Amino acid sequence: MKTLSLLTLCVLPALAAAQGPAAAWTKFQRDNGPNWTAEWSPATGTPRAIWGEGLTVKNGPIANTAEARKYALQTLAKYEQLLGRGASTF
């Protein structure tokens, strides 16, 4: 019984968390194309770095830093499951 409790408390939540970012990565690539690479952190199960072709956040130029910040925050929120945001705020 103690083994099952340990499995339930430690292993299963870790497996569930690992499936979230992996599924989000699949969706990210489906939405943004396959020419993206992620370097995964074994400690968090989330990408340590993501690089690729670039994301279109707006058609046309971004006018100023306030607008750039707005689009950056929207992008971080859009990919929060992939990034493992949890309860954190950016």
Q: pLDDT by residue for the chain (90 residues), tens digit each?
A: 454 444 444 444 444 444 689 999 999 999 999 999 999 999 999 999 999 999 999 999 999 999 999 999 999 999 999 999 887 776
Looking at the domain assignment, is residue 90 inside a domain? Answer: no
Show the domain range for 64.
2-83
Burial class (CB in 10 A: 0-12, 13-18, 19+), 47: buried
Looking at the domain assignment, is residue 45 inside a domain? Answer: yes
At 87 the pLDDT is 79
Total domain count, the chain? 1
Looking at the domain assignment, is residue 89 inside a domain? Answer: no
Whether the model clears a pTM of 0.85, i.e. scores above it, the answer is no
At 90 the pLDDT is 67
Looking at the domain assignment, is residue 38 inside a domain? Answer: yes
Looking at the domain assignment, is residue 11 inside a domain? Answer: yes
Looking at the domain assignment, is residue 22 inside a domain? Answer: yes
State the DSSP H helix or E strand holding residue 48, giving kind and residue range, or none if neither: strand 47-51
Looking at the domain assignment, is residue 75 inside a domain? Answer: yes
